[in-house]
Structure 1
Amino acid sequence: MYWYIIFNVATQYGISGTTAKAIAASVERAVVEGALGPGAALPPVRRLADELSVSPGTVGAAYKELRRRGIVVTRGRGGTVVASAPAVASRRPPKVPAGLRDLAGGHPDHRLLPGHLPSERVIPVARSHRATPRTARLEETVREWLGRDGVPVDHVTFAHGALDLIARLLSVELRPGDAVAMEDPGYHHLLDLVTALGLRAVPVAVDDQGLRPDALRAALRAGVRAVVCSPRAQNPYGGCFSAERRAQLVDLLRGEPDVLVVENDHASAVAGAPLHSLATGGLTRWVHVRTVSKFLGPDLRWAAAACDPVTLARHDGRLLLTSGWVSHLLQEAVYRLLTDDGTSALVDRARQAYAQRRDALIAELRTRGVTGHGNSGMNVWVPVRDESAVVNGLRTHGWWVAAGARFRLSAAPGVRISTAGLEPAEAVRLASDFVTVLGESEATYGG
């Protein structure tokens, strides 16, 4: 019966073709259309070869191509299955059910974002944007902004957001199959990006101070070509580098001059913690990335980066060949907001509010015997035994939180609670409901 079910997968999901290219394309089409979902098993090589009347080598080549492109993964005796976040069908968060309080999205509080752009007339000019990709006054503002935290600013560049910049760098620096050290638990879009590029994610455990030195040491010994991390507001755990932790990590990375270190300071101005940047440690290959979406608005798809000269040349060379530059209109909008006194006051207020709301939930959980992690940023990570039971249990109380599976590689289970819009008074009820649900789930888990 088992082989009969597997055998008919090819017919059921429309796997067809007589060449490796055609077979791979048919599998990709099935994934795109949803006929093959994450975790779905593909037929064993020989079985599919028999059904399609091709050689096992042809099917094997098709599966190899699908693995290289991040569409499927091989699990030893578990066979070949569709990746949990296939590169052709980007994983999106579940839709928030009607009537629930959304604490899963990780978004900033819209009430603490600028409601308008400072007015200024935009004068069209005829010039080569490729020759001058960055406006002079925004570039100078960025140098001042990063320089205040000690980040070297001899070489800076812009991109269309942090994911855009990181994707461009990894695609230039690495080749499919190369290993990348990734925070575990970590930002799910970055984990998906690494898979989509055909790279191999090596989990590096985190704690309240970010990357753990012992875990990073193991990843470096495993031969990673790049390290992607957050110095503060680590998503979802909330860790932030202390001065001591930064020194420990720098000591390890200095011994690996060929490893590219990507530091994603995504929350920066509203992280609620000082920056202890790896970029100040004299590393050979490094890039420090900052975005403004968390405190100026999610639609401002812009990022600034400081980096070493080799990284700058490789990034900007690829940018020149693709989009060419970041919109100067967008750059002007970012400049006006970064230099506007009213906006600066609003950002200060947001930083204080986010810290207060995050700390309030952690404190309320702690008084009830539950440990939450969130030294910085907009999220609180709570370890649990059964993610689904807790998520579904909180749903019955009117809360919608994120199951940790989206963020984990090999880390223990947990749930992520976004606290950006959670008022301290609400934290009391949430913590109480959480404890109730946790007790119910553990009773069920224990039988």
Structure 2
Amino acid sequence: MAAQYSISGTTAKGIAASVEHAVADGSLAPGDALPPVRRLADELAVSPGTVATAYKELRQRGLVVTRGRGGTVVAAAPAVASRRPPKVPDGLRDLAGGHPDFSFLPDLPALAAPSTGPRSHRATPRLPRLEERARAWFDGDGVPCDSVTFAHGALDCIARLLATELRPGDAVAMEDPGYHHLLDLLQAMGLRTIAVAVDDEGMRPRELREALRAGARAVVCSPRAQNPYGGHFSAERRDALVEVLRQAPEVLVIENDHAAEIAGVELNSLTEGGLSRWAQVRTVTKYLGTDLRWAAAACDPVTLARHDGRLLLTSGWVSHLLQAAVLALFDDPSARLLVERAEVAYEKRRAAFVEELARRGIAAHGASGMNVWVPVRDESALVNGLRTRGWWVAAGARFRMAAAPGVRVTVAGLETARAARLASDFADTLGESAATYGG
């Protein structure tokens, strides 16, 4: 408890530093209560306002949280490790990892060595031809493309966008269930998450409105191929969400269109709604190559300037060799053909599995992308039961905040001929679970 650690300091910064040191060395653990403001002020012979300022700084940095009458306590440590998927046991068919079917990924091109002689990558951080292709890529789906930039993958881009806008302790509206790496990222950045429920059409407008009223300063969402639920924005849902977001013009809206070319549905983007602060992020790892850690982002001019200013101060630019590889694959007709084949195959595999489950009375969600979400009562029982039958699927716990239990099945590598067998094993496992736990 906090009583076991003597907080010191005569200024707000000194008091905050003392608490931070205690949290760092373990003297104060997550959940430990800090002394009430007036009591600590008396102990340190400072004004209550000084202690209150220190506690406010600690809250803004995500080190403590205030629980009303429960007082101020040390915040939970980022639970990054808890969301990492377990190792796939030997001999099982892996449908848990979220990976594409590698048979649809093109071979990476052979690249020439970079040109010799002096040159300034910082002055020209983006290859002009790739930037042109990126603009056409966004423009083809109706996304405004006047301001385009690059990053080292979608998570890198989203992290930088959030870091330039928010401070630790700020809140972000997130999909629930949502992408576990994004949830981990926000925790590691000291940001708070506000869960926004999703359905087959993506984020729900009413829940988004509630999140904005609760103080969300940014929104991160997927317009299609939502991971893990598989939803996508219909035109009607897009319009309803835009109407909500127009009431909060200062909020930054980030669309993660991570599976653009293989989602299997057209894009209905929030960026078409005239929002003030927005970005759409696209990457190619799911269909051109998992080692191609490159992303493009279209955004409003202010967001672009802030992102690029931070990038300039860190890595400076995205490797021109990496950019050249992406450009070569964009220009390669055989790579384009593989991507088209992948999109068709994933749509068939997703539909086949959902239909086979439905024939057995099992509801599932997978309107786009590579994943299917199946609501279940007991995630562990289902995962372990399928394991005994040779399948490895992902328990939904690492994707959920307040959503009901479920499991995620990545169908990218599930051939349609095997969909019936998996659905049958799914039904048998659910039946055993109901018999064991009483329905």
Determine if the TM-score, normalized by the shorter chain, exceeds 0.5: yes
1:368-396, Cα deviation, whole Å (9 max, x unpaired)? 00011000000000001111111111111
The one-letter code sitting in structure 1 at the alignment partner of 2:131 is: E
Which residue matches 2:432? 440
2:305 to 287, 294, 313: 313
| Kept after mapping to 2: 8 A contact 1:181/1:224 | yes
Q: Secondary structure at the match of 2:26?
A: helix
Paired with 2:151 and 2:397, the residues of 1 have a C-alpha distance of 29
1:115 to 107, 111, 114: 107
Gap runs ≥5 in structure 2: 9-17, 36-42
* Structure 2 length-normalised TM: 0.87
1:218-257 superposed matches below 5 A: 218-257=210-249
Paired with 2:320 and 2:162, the residues of 1 have a C-alpha distance of 25
Deviates more, 1:190-199 or 1:328-337: 190-199
1:391 has 2:390 as partner: no
| Kept after mapping to 1: 8 A contact 2:59/2:169 | no
Deviation at 1:429, TM superposition (A): 0.9
The one-letter code sitting in structure 2 at the alignment partner of 1:86 is: A
Paired with 2:6 and 2:169, the residues of 1 have a C-alpha distance of 27
Paired with 1:383 and 1:329, the residues of 2 have a C-alpha distance of 43
| Kept after mapping to 2: 8 A contact 1:118/1:336 | no
| Kept after mapping to 1: 8 A contact 2:97/2:410 | yes
Which residue matches 1:130? 122
2:139 to 147, 155, 165: 147
Identity of aligned residues (%): 66
Paired with 2:197 and 2:313, the residues of 1 have a C-alpha distance of 36
1:126-148, Cα deviation, whole Å (9 max, x unpaired)? 21111111010000011111111
Deviation at 1:215, TM superposition (A): 1.0
Q: Secondary structure at the match of 1:225?
A: strand
Deviates more, 1:120-129 or 1:252-261: 120-129
Q: Mark the CA change 1:157 to 1:369 in structure 2 (over 3 Å): closer, same or farther.
A: same
1:334 has 2:326 as partner: yes
Which residue matches 2:79? 86
The one-letter code sitting in structure 1 at the alignment partner of 2:262 is: V
* Structure 1 length-normalised TM: 0.85
| Kept after mapping to 2: 8 A contact 1:118/1:337 | no
1:21-420 superposed matches below 5 A: 21-27=20-26, 83=76, 85-86=78-79, 91-117=83-109, 122-420=114-412
Deviates more, 1:231-240 or 1:194-203: 194-203
The one-letter code sitting in structure 1 at the alignment partner of 2:242 is: V
Q: Secondary structure at the match of 1:305?
A: strand
| Kept after mapping to 1: 8 A contact 2:223/2:268 | yes
Paired with 1:67 and 1:442, the residues of 2 have a C-alpha distance of 44
Q: How many residues align?
A: 418
The two structures, once aligned, show a CA RMSD in angstroms of 3.0
Q: Secondary structure at the match of 1:290?
A: strand
| Kept after mapping to 1: 8 A contact 2:263/2:343 | yes
Q: Secondary structure at the match of 2:220?
A: strand
Deviates more, 1:370-379 or 1:110-119: 110-119
The one-letter code sitting in structure 2 at the alignment partner of 1:383 is: P
Paired with 1:128 and 1:220, the residues of 2 have a C-alpha distance of 43
1:124-176, Cα deviation, whole Å (9 max, x unpaired)? 45211111110100000111111111111100000001111111111110111
Paired with 2:269 and 2:424, the residues of 1 have a C-alpha distance of 37
1:391-419, Cα deviation, whole Å (9 max, x unpaired)? 11111111111111100110111000011
1:106-134, Cα deviation, whole Å (9 max, x unpaired)? 01111110123166675345211111110
